Chain A
Amino acid sequence: MKKAIKKDVLLGDEAVALAAFQAGLTAAFSYPGTPASEIMEYLIRLARQQGGVKATWCVNEKVAYEEALGVSFAGKRALVSMKHVGLNVAADPFMNSALTKILGGLVVVVADDPSMHSSQNEQDSRYYAHFARIFCLEPSNHQEAYEMTRVAFDLSEKYHIPILLRLVTRLSHSRSEVVYGDKRDPNPLRRGDWQDWTLLPANARRRFAALLDIQQDLVREANSSPFNSLTLSPTSSLGIITSGIGYNYVQENINDLDQPPSILKISTYPLPLELIQQLMSAAQEILIVEEGYPFIEERLRGLLGVQDKIIRGKLSGDLPLTGELTPDTVRAALGLAPLPRLEIEEKLLASRPPQLCPGCPHYDTFVALKEALKGYSQATVFSDIGCYTLGALPPLSAIDTCVCMGASVSMAKGGAEAGLFPSVAVIGDSTFTHSGMTPLLDAAAANVNMTVVIVDNAVVAMTGGQPTYATGERLAQICAGLGVAPEHIRQIIPLPKNKEVNSRVIKEEIEYPGTSVVISTRECIQEVKKRAKRR
């Protein structure tokens, strides 16, 4: 009997989610972050429709990772997904989990954001996989994203390590057809051995040795992986080493070359050494096309370079060192002339940056805050990450910093200790519970002269409206629990009509010479709209 082909139109993120769901997943964990959020959103939908899997938003990436690790200890399969900077937050469990003996398959999906479409930086997660000495898979298209995710669980259980799946924005947020397979049953419940999971020095040394021992096996796995492919050219002395979606841009242009070059497509890390050696002996000139940092290129060049070969890539300036690749930049690196296009006289371009929605609660909080800060020459607003970061742009121009999640509170403490007054932190409700609570405990313990304004819109708005776990009164209780004096935890409602009262409350708390909190609570307009539509 011929089986019907099952296919669907999916985002790259959704292809990963579907694959995990079908790979016998028991639980998935994540904290929102563009471009990774749609993985969990899709898993939550699948779990709701079909059951059998727990899919949850967590309070931050470290917590998400550790919850997944607990699932693996219990012998079950787990997925943890995040954006690239999320892995910085989860770096501690990530690095250490490489030394545990992973029991149930653990797949870590990290979506990088070259070009910084929605991020503070464009760090390349392949370095993390290398750092932890684990195996990494990098798909170039939707079908591979699906298939690699399924294989990743098997590899994780085969080698007892977490497997990192690296995505990039262009794949995460691109939609295409995916052919999918059947669902596997979840693993039975078991328990890891304490000696493999308790990283006391004696165990950790043994476990690290075990990790080092399998490194050659991982290279062998890479050499024979069906996801890596080498095509040698009988005629061209050009060899291209390419990975991930860089491969697509090479393919897009390849037919315009006089001679088809040799191409090594890399989808695994560690690198497939044998295949690289074969390509190197077949080619005189090597072009490396990879999305992100020049990871492969650095390794290939080493410290001393490659004798008698020309190596081109990002380090040689043939491709840009920052920003995502495009079919056009790769075309130029291949030595091809740009495609013809019409030139027009005048471009008239005005940029159109994102902005706060009309009626946004953050706008009213900023207006009141700016009013309260009038007249203080040193007034500094340490901000954080969320919709309210858009308060940096005119007409508000209301914030001075945005570095990483939670940094507003800690930097305000540092700023105050350096002598800045008023030293104000502005932080969203979700960012506060993500990583603003711990620095507030620090600040309150020393009763540092600073004011934290929690801009509470009751949702994770920036990334599309995921749930948060503390809003309004609950936030006040948390702050009190962290040691802020209850009379200096004030609650306001950011509305245009409350501007004067609100700025007075903020000013009173600024004038209080200790740690104070103003919680400014009103629901995100987009959420209000969504709810109205549902009704």
Chain B
Amino acid sequence: MKQDIILAGVGGQGILSIAFAIDMAALKQGLQFKQAEVHGMAQRGGAVQSHLRLADKKIYSDLIPKGQADLILSVEPLETIRYLDYLHPEGIIISSRHPYENIPDYPPLEKVLATISQFPRVKLIDSLSLAREAGSAVTQNMVLLGAASSFLIVEEAYLQEAIKELFGAKGERIVKMNLKAFELGRNKAGLGK
């Protein structure tokens, strides 16, 4: 059993929180994992990605080979496109459809979404409105984690526990908001464009 996941987004969108939640869940479930992340320069509003590998046996490479990712989980549609090379022919894309436009040459959104939709197994999520419904635009990352949860080899209950741990220090309200975001995302599960 293995699952290779590319997490993508823009610096500040909480990619590492998604990674952390899945790591914690994997740990609770007794899976091995490796998770390569980006720090430093690239965090300042730049493209951020994390390679997350889960398996029930030893994992060697910290990086996922191209064509091997079972899942691209992305908080931003242009960032989804950046890593399409990594996707396995039967891999799944779960992506926000909401653009983060902090560059002058952001391509037309329809084209971005159409490019993603060429793939056979895609779920585009209106993560921004669901995050707002949960209480804040900053919970888009948890919406996407929720939307991906039924495809992950870690159990949902462990993910929820991990979210509680992750946000515990910030108080009950923040924990609840993130759990809500997770739930709203999960309710959108199932593939379809």
Give, as a whole number of angstroms, the nearest-CB distance from A373 to chain B. Answer: 24
Q: Are A340 and B89 in contact (CB under 8 A)?
A: yes
A174/B34 in contact, CB under 8 A: yes
> A355-B44, A355-B102, A390-B44 are contacts. A350–B63 as well, Cβ < 8 Å?
no
In the assembled complex, B189 has its CB within 8 A of some CB on chain A: no
When distances are taken between beta carbons in the complex, the residues of chain B under 8 Å from A9 are 23-24, 27
Q: How many chain B residues touch A (Cβ–Cβ < 8 Å)?
A: 53
A252 to B115 CA separation, bound complex (whole angstroms)? 30
Interface centre among A38, A338, A349 (most CB of B within 10 A): A349
The answer on a CB contact under 8 Å between B34 and A353 is no
CB within 8 Å of A: which B55-82 residues: 59-68, 78-79, 81-82
Task: State whether B119 touches A117 (Cβ < 8 A).
Answer: no
Inter-chain CA distance A346–B32, complex, in Å, is 36
B41 in contact with A34 (CB, 8 Å): yes
A141–B34 Cα distance when bound, in Å, is 10
**A141 and B23 alpha carbons, distance in the complex (Å):** 17
Interface contact B38-A173, CB-CB below 8 Å: yes
Shortest beta-carbon distance, A525 to chain B, in Å? Answer: 11
B63 pairs with A38, CB closer than 8 A: no
Interface contact B111-A348, CB-CB below 8 Å = yes
Chain A proximity mask over B102-145: 1 for CB below 8 Å, otherwise 0: 11011100011001001110000000000000000000000000
Tell me the bound Cα distance from A38 to B42 in angstroms: 16
Complex Cα gap A338–B87 (Å): 13
Q: How far is the CB of B27 from chain A (nearest CB, A)?
A: 6
- Is A353 within 8 A of B46, CB to CB? yes
- Closest-by-CB residue of B relative to A172 is B39
B61 / chain A contacts, CB cutoff of 8 Å = 245, 248-249, 251-252, 327
Interface membership of chain A positions 20-49, coded 1 if the CB is closer than 8 angstroms to chain B and 0 otherwise: 000000000000001101100000000000
The interface residues of chain B lying within 8 Å CB-to-CB of A141 are 60
Question: What residues on B are CB-neighbors of A355 within 8 Å?
Answer: 44-46, 102
**Residue in B38, B45, B66 whose CB lies within 8 Å of A341:** B66
A350/B38 in contact, CB under 8 A: no
CB distance A328 to B65 under 8 Å? yes
| Chain A binding surface, main DSSP class | loop
CA A173 to CA B46, docked complex, whole Å: 17
Question: Is A378's CB within 8 Å of the partner chain B?
Answer: no
Q: Is there an interface contact between A348 and B107, defined as CB atoms closer than 8 Å?
A: yes
Please report which residues of chain A, range 320-360, place their CB below 8 angstroms from some CB of chain B when the two chains form the complex.
326-328, 331, 338-342, 344-357
Whether A117 and B40, one on each chain, are in contact in the complex, defined by CB atoms closer than 8 angstroms, is: yes
Bound CA–CA A464/B64 (angstroms): 27
Interface status of A76 (Cβ within 8 A of chain B): no
Is A177 in contact with B27, judged by CB distance below 8 angstroms?
Answer: yes
Q: Which residue of A lies closest to B34 (CB)?
A: A176
| Chain A CB within 8 A of B43 CB | yes
The answer to whether residues A346 and B40 also contact, given A176-B34, A354-B11 and a CB cut-off of 8 A, is no
Minimum-distance CB pairs A-B, first 3: A34-B40, A339-B67, A354-B46
Q: List residues of A whose CB falls within 8 A of some B CB.
A: 9, 34-35, 37-38, 117-118, 141, 170-171, 173-177, 245, 247-249, 251-253, 326-328, 331, 338-342, 344-357, 387, 390, 462-464
